[in-house]
Amino acid sequence: MVYTIKEVVSYLEKLAPPAYQESYDNAQLITGNSNDNVKGILCTLDATEEVIDEAINLGCNLIVAHHPIVFKGLKSLTGRNYVERTIIKAIKNDIAIYAIHTNLDHVAIGVNKRISDKIGLVNTSILSPKKNLLSKLTTFAPQKDAEEVSNALFAAGAGNIGEYSDCSFMVEGKGTFTPSPKANPKIGQKGIAHIEHETRIEVIVPSHLERKIIAALKEAHPYEEVAYYFQKIENENQDVGAGMVGELPRKMDERDFLEMLKSNMNLQVIKHTKLNSKQVKKVAVCGGAGIFLLPDAKRSGAEIFITSDIKYHEFFDAENQIVICDIGHYESEIYTKELLLELLSQKFTNIALYLTKVVTNPITYL
**Cα–Cα distance list, 118 to 101, 122, 252, 297 (Å):** 20, 11, 16, 19
Query: Do residues 97 and 242 lie in contact, with contact meaning Cβ atoms separated by under 8 Å?
Result: no
Give bridge partners of residue 135 from the DSSP assignment. Answer: 205, 232
Quote the distance between the C-alpha of residue 249 and its chain's center.
26
Q: Is the pTM of this model over 0.85?
A: yes
Share of the chain above pLDDT 90, in %: 96
Query: Do residues 279 and 252 lie in contact, with contact meaning Cβ atoms separated by under 8 Å?
Result: yes
Give pLDDT, residue 162. Answer: 84
What is the rounded CA–CA span in Å between residue 39 and residue 94? 11
Give pLDDT, residue 355. Answer: 98
Give bridge partners of residue 129 from the DSSP assignment. Answer: 241
**Cα–Cα distance list, 19 to 23, 100, 104, 132 (Å):** 9, 11, 11, 11
- Rounded (10°) CA dihedral 149, 150, 151, 156: 90
In single-letter form, the type of residue at position 211 comes to R
Instruction: With cut-offs at 50, 70 and 90, classify the pLDDT of residue 180.
Output: very high
Give pLDDT, residue 1. Answer: 85
- Rounded (10°) CA dihedral 18, 19, 25, 31: 30
Q: Which helix (H) or strand (E) holds 179?
A: none
Parallel/antiparallel/unpaired status of strands 279-289 and 304-308: parallel
Instruction: With cut-offs at 50, 70 and 90, classify the pLDDT of residue 118.
Output: very high
Instruction: With cut-offs at 50, 70 and 90, classify the pLDDT of residue 163.
Output: confident
Give pLDDT, residue 73. Answer: 83
* Statement: residue 292 has pLDDT above 90: yes
What is the rounded CA–CA span in Å between residue 181 and residue 167? 38
Q: What is the rounded average pLDDT for all residues in the chain?
A: 97
Instruction: With cut-offs at 50, 70 and 90, classify the pLDDT of residue 143.
Output: very high
Averaged pLDDT, 188-205: 96
**Residue of 167, 129, 134 whose CA lies nearest to 233:** 134
- Rounded (10°) CA dihedral 277, 280, 282, 284: 70
In single-letter form, the type of residue at position 164 comes to Y
